Amino acid sequence: MKAPAAPPSVSATRWLAAGSLLGLIALGLAWELWLAPLRPGGSWLALKVLPLAIPLAGILKNRMYTYRWVSLLVWLYFTEGVVRAWSDVDGTSRVLALAEVLLCLVLFAACAWHVRLRLRHAKSHSLEGAAP
C-alpha cells in the first residue's frame, strides 16, 4: 500500500528552503567575489559558502535530518549578516548583509515549518492506520 501524498504546504516549504539556500549560496559568492569584496578582485572569504553547499542535496532529496541540522547551521550566517550590517562602513555591504539576514530567516522558517508539517502529516496517517 502506497503512503498518501503529503499536503501541498510540505512541498511549498521544501522549495522555499531550497530556494533560500541557493539564494544564500549565490549571495555569498557574489558578495565576496564581485559586489563588495574585502579586497579588490575578490577574496578567499567566498569559501564561506562551502558549508551551505553540503546540505543542498539533502534538501532536494527531502531528507528530514538535513532540514533539522540546516535550521541550526543557518544561525552562523545570520550572525555574520547581523554583525556586518552593524559594523561594515560600505553601504553596499550593509544592504548585502541585510539580504543575508532575510534569507537566513526565510531558510530557518521554511526548515522549521517543513519539519513540523511532515511530523504532523506522519502522525495523522499513523493514527489513521491504527484505527480498527
Q: Please check whether residue 4 lies inside any domain of the structure.
A: no
Q: Who contacts 97 (Cβ-Cβ below 8 Å, separation ≥6)? A: 80, 81, 82, 83, 84, 85, 88
Q: Please check whether residue 14 lies inside any domain of the structure.
A: yes
- pLDDT confidence band for 9 (50 / 70 / 90): confident
Q: Please check whether residue 2 lies inside any domain of the structure.
A: no
Check whether 124 has a pLDDT greater than 60.
yes
Check whether 62 has a pLDDT greater than 60.
yes
- pLDDT confidence band for 43 (50 / 70 / 90): confident
Of residues 106, 18, 94, the one with CA closest to residue 63: 18
Are the C-beta atoms of 121 and 7 separated by less than 8 Å? yes
What's the domain count of the chain? Answer: 1
Q: How far apart are CA 103 and CA 48, in angstroms?
A: 15
Check whether 6 has a pLDDT greater than 80.
no
Q: Please check whether residue 123 lies inside any domain of the structure.
A: yes
Q: What is the domain extent for residue 71?
A: 9-130
Check whether 113 has a pLDDT greater than 90.
yes
Mean pLDDT over residues 21-42, rounded?
A: 92
